[in-house]
Chain A
Amino acid sequence: MEIVRPQSHRNLFSSNDAVSVPTIPLYRSAPPLEVRLEDFESFAIDRLRVLKGISDGLSRGKKPDEMEKLVEESWKVHMRHQHASEVLNKDIISHFVLRLVYCRTEDLRKWFLSMECALFRYRFRYRFRFLTTEAQRAIMDEFDLTCKAVNNVEFESIKEKLGQVARSMGQPSPTVDTIFYKVPFEEVPELVAGRKVFISQGYAYVAMNQVVSLVATLFRSQLSKTLILTNRKWTASIRDQEKHRLTPIVEALSSSYLGPDFSQPREYAEISLKDIDQVAKTSFPLCMRHLFDKLKEDHHLKHGGRMQLGLFLKGVGLNLDDALAFWRAEFSKKVGLEKFEKEYSYNIRHNYGKEGKRTDYTPYSCQKVISSTPGAGDQHGCPYRQFSEENLRAALSRMGVNSRAMEDVMDKVRNRHYQLACTLTFEALHGVACDAGINHPNQYFSDSQKILQPKKDSSA
């Protein structure tokens, strides 16, 4: 792929995707395309939105059918292009750009691999059933699958066993029209592990609808190897060659959270000092509520807590003067006015970008909160992760979560879906569904206010 400056946008790749068979590219090799620099970044961001959508969907426990729909809709929204012929190119280009972005550490690779494989799997699932038998076989050839279709004679000899396998999975027995493929068992580890295939003399008998699994496994192992190679190339040459052009874009892309960062507080979210106590009770997520309550109780918070809560309050709309007054009021009860001015006020001004290198710090997203490591005496972090079951139940019931919702929340916690747990808490307390899921404490706050504010206005 060649990255060019804007203005020259000749497209060398003529896609031969016949309209009758919608193609899913296999991303085997970078095609000879020219890409505009601005497209480089924007295509990647669009694809990233799709991948993050998949990540959310999976962590919300959506079933395969729902995921298929989610992927198709997300793809339509984000991956379209004004020129229909460019859609395939956008697909390919965005994949290769993200490869550069996500090849660079073990964690990034793992995430990217999972999401791209899920994307592939659901798109493949969606399309495969509409293909003709010939087209299906053609795809299998694409993957060099050493599988042969089972002929009628062999089918008759194993029909009963195939029927047993099908019925053991709650499916109807296959008929003579059902196509089976004979594949070395090594190629279908997922199906073997789940006893979802009949195996004999080293061969697994895979039904057509199980082919998706087969293909997905091969896609995954291909991509996995490629990512490592890409990383080597990146480290060895690309990163340096591109340090004034692509490298900064690549490095920024992997840490992008992709939602609003709440550094500019919205109008309706502006709160003042006198409002805080009230909104803390109704609209703070548990993590901030806990810090807030502890602050009121102990008149002190350690650094981690001050950062987490302080930046949250900034995102919520508390201006610098009000913030200083807030913290002063609490801290001075413990450490005295003078010590507060000397030791703590600087920090607060620093958070608002009024001191030091004047970075205007952004409030922490859930990802950041969850991954923090509070130590002894700390109160920050994500309570769904940090608290013992007992303490969590107590905290949630103080917030007003009813016992039935409580069980659903605890179930999510046990499975380590902390953001889902928080989402369920939100839903239980506000009586509405939160489809987008909670990704940011300030999002919790603003969504909550959106629900509660209209009611307040109407009653005012």
Chain B
Amino acid sequence: MIPQQESEFDIGYLKPYYGKLFPYADMFKWMSYGHDGKHPGCDQSYFGRREFSFTLKGDFYLRFQSFNSALELENSIKEKCPLKIDIGPVYTVDPAKRHAYAQGDNKVFTPVERELIFDIDMTDYDDVRYCCKGADVCLDCWPLMTIAIKVIDASLRDDFGFKHILWVYSGRRGVHCWVCDGKARRLTNEQRASIADYFRVYKGNENSHKKVSLMGAALHPFLATSYTNVLKDYFEKILLTNQNLLATEERYEKILSMIPDESIASELRGRWQDNNRRSSSAKEDINVVRWEQCKQLLQSGKHKAQGLRRCVEEIVFFFTYPRLDMEVSKHMNHLLKAPFCVHPKTGRVCVPIDPNRCDEFDPTTVPTLFQLLEELNNEGLRADVNGEWSGTSLGSAVTLFRSSFLEPLLKACKEEIERSYSLKLQQSKNSIGW
């Protein structure tokens, strides 16, 4: 039994991880998007035009790595043992040959396809969680990530019509989202930015007290749906108590400061200041009680100050609504860590998360490098037809990756390749030479 260490990571253990567990074949299939050479309509150059980048020991950074086959990818990773593997866009030409093509103004070396990606990081929520700060996460604040997944996933599917979405645990304190539909991969920077802005609500600014501002007589349907289906319940049933949002003076003052009507704020303050001394009844959580009082006053319609109309929603949005890193999503050439990497600070594997069961996901039980290697050792050298991973805790992660993401994606890709191939054949029959 390996004794518990502070960090479950040792660079020496990456070699056996890459040697036996990293799912190369699956990664290759994914990145090929159906262009595996088996159909005449396949683009043989596609995989080779994808950029990978490796972070090596000693902070060496190798950009613009590209490979022409799954084997080349595998050999290179096994040989270099990168601390981190990032995935970039698909370019017009093989990135390794970019210098031969760069000609001044003519942007002949440029990204042509790239998944629509999102990065949600717990540190962006530091002003709304009291259990942890910075790089730490725990089960009390993890629901913020669950909320983010639910809200964004629903909108990507229902509003934007995307179907092939992969959610991945980032290994420490957040989640990544990869939207892989063809339509998504071909979005321009401007379109990506517009989607990121569509999702944006929190506008943190040291000058403004109010970082969430929901104007207008009604909420946009996307915000209204998110509130009704996800935010309200998570706030009232989980975060209020997990985070003790109204339990102490410091904490309730934060919420009171978001109420533009001073008379309401002082009335609540008056009630709560006395209450602090008294021990609350065992039945009702003090946070829940106080929130009810707060809502009652704000929604009573008695006090008609400006900005009060949406105050309850604004508070809930402030504490729960997803906070995306806008820069990650806006540019095609932004690199993002590959799934199934191992996080060097925690030793945890970046495993996929099933959005339909994301409320069951527990970041504290994600397999670690040490754990996996121990399992490998215990299982013996039994080569499994599926790959060595299937006997380990990584098994369910790879299975999830395949069944809920990769297989439907590849099916759709094949159909798309066939369709555009038939179309091309048709067009060449009909075309008039010019």
Q: Name A's B-contacting residues (CB within 8 A).
A: 161, 163-165, 167-170, 185-186, 189-190, 192-195, 198-203, 228, 231
Q: Does B345 contact A (CB under 8 A)?
A: no
* Inter-chain contact B191/A186, CB cutoff 8 Å: yes
Closest A residue by C-beta to B224: A164
Q: Smallest distance from the beta carbon of B114 to chain A beta carbons, Å?
A: 15
Of the residues B160, B193, B222, contact of A185 by C-beta under 8 Å: B160
B191 and A189 within 8 A (CB): yes
Measured CB to CB, the closest approach of chain A to B292, in angstroms, equals 27
Bound-complex Cα distance A201 to B161 (A): 4
Query: Is B396 part of the binding interface, using a Cβ–Cβ cutoff of 8 Å?
Result: no
| A-chain residues with CB within 8 Å of residue B191 when the two chains form the complex | 186, 189
The residue among A163, A170, A199, A203 with the most chain B CB atoms within 10 A of its own CB is A199
Determine whether B183 belongs to the interface, using a CB cutoff of 8 Å to chain A: yes
Give CA–CA (A93, B260) in the complex, Å: 57
Contact partner of A189 among B158, B190, B223, B224, CB < 8 A? B190
Q: Decide: B194 and A193 in contact? CB cutoff 8 A.
A: yes
Bound CA–CA A228/B107 (angstroms): 11
Q: List 10 A-B contacts (CB under 8 A).
A: A164-B220, A164-B221, A168-B215, A168-B216, A170-B215, A193-B197, A194-B197, A198-B221, A202-B162, A231-B105
B282 interface residue, CB < 8 Å from A? no
What residue of chain B has the Cβ atom nearest to residue A186's Cβ? B191
**B216-A189 in contact (CB<8A):** no
Residues of B within 8 A of A168 (CB): 215-220
Which residues of B have CB within 8 Å of A165?
220-221
Contact present for B158 and A195 (CB under 8 Å)? no
Residues in chain A near residue B217, CB distance under 8 A: 167-168, 170
Q: Within the complex, what minimum Cβ distance (angstroms) separates A206 from chain B?
A: 14
Please name the residue on chain A nearest to B214 by beta carbon. A168
Q: Judge if B137 is at the interface, Cβ distance under 8 Å.
A: no
CA distance A198 to B158 in the complex (A): 11
B33 to chain A, nearest CB (A): 19
* Tally of contact residues, B, Cβ under 8 A: 25
Complex contacts, A164 vs chain B, CB 8 Å: 218-221, 224
Cross-chain contact A202 with B218 (CB below 8 angstroms):
no
Closest 4 CB pairs of A and B: A202-B161, A189-B194, A193-B197, A167-B218
For B221, the chain A residues whose CB sits under 8 A away are 161, 164-165, 198
B198 near A202 (CB under 8 angstroms)? no
- Report the separation of the CA atoms of residues A86 and B14 in the bound assembly, to the nearest whole angstrom: 75
Name B's A-contacting residues (CB within 8 A). 105, 158-162, 183, 187, 190-191, 193-195, 197-198, 215-224
**Contact in complex: A195, B218 (CB < 8 Å):** no
If A189-B190, A192-B197 are given as contacts, then 12 extra A-B residue pairs at C-beta distance below 8 Å, sorted by A number, are A164-B219, A164-B220, A164-B224, A186-B187, A190-B194, A192-B198, A195-B220, A195-B223, A200-B159, A202-B160, A202-B161, A228-B105
CB <8 Å contact, B219 and A193: no
In the bound complex, do residue A193 and residue B216 qualify as a contact, i.e. CB atoms below 8 Å apart? no
Contact of B198 among A163, A167, A193, A200 (CB under 8 A): A193
Select from chain A the residue with minimum beta-carbon distance to B189: A189
Cα of A192 to Cα of B183 in the assembled complex, Å: 16
Query: For the complex, what is the distance from the CA of A172 to the CA of B161, rounded to whole Å?
Result: 28
Instruction: Tell me the smallest distance from the CB of B307 to a CB of chain A, in Å.
Output: 14
Bound-state Cα–Cα, A193 to B194, Å: 4
A161 closest partner in B (C-beta)? B221
Taking a contact as CB atoms closer than 8 A, the residue among B161, B195, B215, B216 that contacts A192 in the complex is B195
How near does chain B come to A184, taking the closest CB pair, in angstroms?
9
Complex-state Cα separation, A182 to B311, whole angstroms: 33
Residue of A nearest to B196 (CB): A193
Residues of B close to A203: CB separation below 8 A: 161
Assembled-state Cα–Cα distance A190/B193 (Å): 10
Q: Contacts of A198 on B, CB cut-off 8 Å?
A: 221
Distance A161 CA – B159 CA, assembled complex (angstroms):
12
Residue in A161, A185, A228 whose Cβ sees the most chain B Cβ within 10 Å: A185
| Residues of B contacting A186 in the complex (Cβ-Cβ under 8 angstroms) | 183, 187, 191
Name the residue among B162, B195, B198 with the largest chain A CB count within 10 angstroms: B198
Q: Which residues of A contact B224 (CB under 8 A)?
A: 164
Q: Chain B residues near A167 (CB, 8 Å)?
A: 216-218
Which chain B positions have C-beta within 8 A of A202?
A: 160-162, 183
Q: How far is the CB of B202 from chain A (nearest CB, A)?
A: 14
How many whole Å from A351's CB to the nearest CB in chain B?
A: 38
Q: Which residues of B contact A190 (CB under 8 A)?
A: 194
Complex Cα distance, B203 from A145, in Å, reads: 34
Question: Which A residues touch B105, using CB under 8 A?
Answer: 228, 231
Residues of A within 8 A of B218 (CB): 163-164, 167-168
The smallest C-beta distance from B248 to any residue of chain A, in angstroms, reads 35
If A168-B217, A186-B187 touch, whether A193 touches B222 (CB-CB below 8 Å) is: no
Closest to A198 in B: B221
Q: Which of A169, A170, A199, A228 contacts B160 (CB 8 A)?
A: A199
**Bound complex: CA A149 to CA B179 (Å):** 29
Instruction: Name B197's closest neighbour in chain A (CB-CB).
Output: A193
Q: What's the nearest-Cβ distance from chain B to residue A201, in Å?
A: 4
> How distant is A8 from chain B, measured CB to nearest CB, in Å?
34
Query: A388 to chain B: closest CB distance in Å?
Result: 18
The answer for the CA separation of A198 and B161 in the assembled complex, in Å, is: 13
| Whole-angstrom CA separation of A165 from B105 in the bound complex | 42
A194's closest neighbor in chain B, by CB? B197
- Which one of A170, A192, A201 lies within 8 Å of B158 (CB-CB)? A201
**In the complex, how many angstroms separate the beta carbon of A284 from the nearest chain B beta carbon?**
34
A162 to B405, CA, bound (A): 33
Interface centre among A163, A186, A190 (most CB of B within 10 A): A186
Taken together as a complex, chains A and B put the C-alpha atoms of A169 and B195 apart, in Å, by 19
Bound-complex Cα distance A459 to B107 (A): 67
Partner of A199, one of B193, B216, B222: B222
Give Cα A192 to B194, complex, Å: 6
Inter-chain CA distance A195–B218, complex, in Å, is 12
User: Are the CB atoms of A195 and B193 closer together than 8 Å?
Assistant: no
